[in-house]
Amino acid sequence: MSYLQKTFTVLLSFFLVFASTVMAQDGTIYPLETPEEPNAILLGTGGVNNQPAKETWFRQWGDPMARNIATATLTPFLPEPGKANGTAVIVAPGGGFSWLSMGHEGWEVAEALAAQGIAAFVLKYRLNPTPEKLEDFSAWMNRPRTPAPAPPSDAKPNTPAPRPPQRNLSNQLEDAEAAYAMIVSRAKEWGVDTDRIGMIGFSAGAGLTMHSTLHSKTMKLAFIGPIYGGMGAVDVPENAPPMFNVIATDDFLFLGQTGVIESWYKAGIPVEFHLYQNGGHGFGLGNPDRTSNRWFDAFMYWLEVNKFLASK
């Protein structure tokens, strides 16, 4: 792995965890009975080391969230008969790799994609262990944190921030690769054109989307959509797919940086970048009175113009 790739992965994981902690301070955590997921398909990728707690769910800001996930699944959201256009999208929710925002950044997004004729698949990937009891988890979420060191006052634009400890995403990458392989193997059943399988992700899910693009040896993604993910520069593979990227200026992950956009541009790979005036972090499909609320419409138009939605 190159220095730039390492820097991107490290910075992303650090800021996602920090962001999630800040967000937790504004939203009370409530217990939630584990919902039935009748359409979830086991990916068979194994468990998580040092994971004594079972998978549990909670609710924050009205959104169902899962944590202590040790068994990865894939849930299809297929278009109505006669509406499918053959395109498929793997949807990776966020949550700092410690929980997943299954509703806001998973199911709701998949339903919106399916309504546009796209076969969507929500990836519930494995996570790092968190405290078993909900009250301990809530206290852990709101524990005091040391803020990230500020860049030097004379730092040039897009200068990487100091590097925090590196995060291992081998489990998550394995889950993404298994999801991709399953979609390919069942493409005829699900009405999927294997040349038009893309991936979008939110926050940590954006990090997993980018990590898969940079490091997977088996996934041949047709396009990617990192939504409010890390913005650091990367080494772009020769076969990298077109990218649609979204973030807001008031998202602390932005930090005035556009390194990943510049990396794609300099590599000669198609890239579209939407920097919105407001939206904060974690806006999903949209929050009230935010300019970022139109990103999904722009994404659909981008797919259309690039001929990813043409029925075959």
Confirm whether 94 is domain-assigned: yes
Query: Residues of 235-262 as b/e, b for ≥16 C-beta within 10 angstroms?
Result: ebeeebbbbbbbbbeebebbbebbbbbb
Rounded Cα–Cα distance for residues 216 and 245 (Å): 20
Confirm whether 312 is domain-assigned: no
Confirm whether 153 is domain-assigned: no
Rounded to two decimals, the pTM is 0.87
Q: At what angle do helices 204-215 and 3-24 cross, to 10 degrees?
A: 170
Domain that holds residue 104: 3-147+158-305
CATH of the domain at 105: 3.40.50.1820
Q: Give the residue among 217, 231, 262, 226 at the shortest CA–CA distance from 246.
A: 226
Confirm whether 268 is domain-assigned: yes
Confirm whether 152 is domain-assigned: no
Contact 92, 201 (CB under 8 A): yes
Confirm whether 311 is domain-assigned: no
pLDDT digit of tens for each residue in the chain (312 aa)?
A: 443 444 444 344 444 443 443 343 457 999 999 999 999 999 999 888 877 779 999 999 889 999 999 999 999 999 998 999 999 999 999 999 999 999 999 999 999 999 999 999 999 999 999 999 999 898 877 777 565 555 555 655 555 544 444 579 999 999 999 999 999 999 999 999 999 999 999 999 999 999 999 999 999 999 999 999 999 999 999 999 999 999 999 999 998 999 999 999 999 999 999 999 999 999 999 989 999 999 999 999 999 999 999 876
Count of CB atoms within 10 A of residue 220's CB? 12
Q: Structural domain tally of the chain?
A: 1
Confirm whether 310 is domain-assigned: no
Confirm whether 214 is domain-assigned: yes
